Amino acid sequence: MISKTCGYAIRGIVFLSLEQNKSTKHGILEIAEDLQIPQHFLGKILQDLVRRGIISSIKGPHGGFFVNAKTKDTPLIEVVEAIDGLGIFKKCFLGREECSSINPCPLHDEFDGCRSAIFKTFENLKIADLVTKIENGDSYLSLSNDFATEI
């Protein structure tokens, strides 16, 4: 659905927004290692998010990426729009150039409900909501050590 890149973006923002991370800046190396995402690739993604104002950064010693006043209230759809664009919600399931309710493909109506449900979920969910889930222990950003060491 959303690209891998966009998933990385969301995970990066949520990482910075976790309670114990909020007060500090975090270098790209640290973030990438913790989330197991290629360092320079994640770097570019976070730079995009800084340009959009979703997170902030400072260069130089003791610099790094960090949350700003806006971060936790950012709806996920804003991140999706920044990285993938909203066009992903309009693509025809069967690969036709155009597909809409006035000229639908045979799967259009079948999946239109799901598609708008997904869209609405991205509209309604904010970064803060994902943070809460993680702090409650209901979900995880990276494969938890518990699972990693159990192998």
Instruction: Enumerate residues 47-76 that contact its own copies by CB under 8 A.
Output: none
Which among 123, 122, 140 has a CA at the least distance from the CA of 131? 140
Taken in order 116, 15, 30, 44, is the CA torsion positive or negative? positive
- Residue numbers of the site for DNA (CB under 7 A)? 3-5, 8, 25-29, 37-41, 43-44, 46-47, 50-51, 57-65, 95
Q: Does 125 bind its own copies (CB under 8 A)?
A: yes
For its own copies, which is the closer residue by CB, 60 or 95? Answer: 95
Cα separation, 108 vs 32, in Å, equals: 38
Near its own copies by CB under 8 A: residue from 28, 32, 37, 79: 37
For DNA, which is the closer residue by CB, 24 or 144? Answer: 24
Which among 88, 16, 85 has a CA at the least distance from the CA of 57? 16
Near its own copies by CB under 8 A: residue from 61, 87, 97, 137: 97
User: For 56, phi and psi rounded to 5 degrees?
Assistant: -130, 165
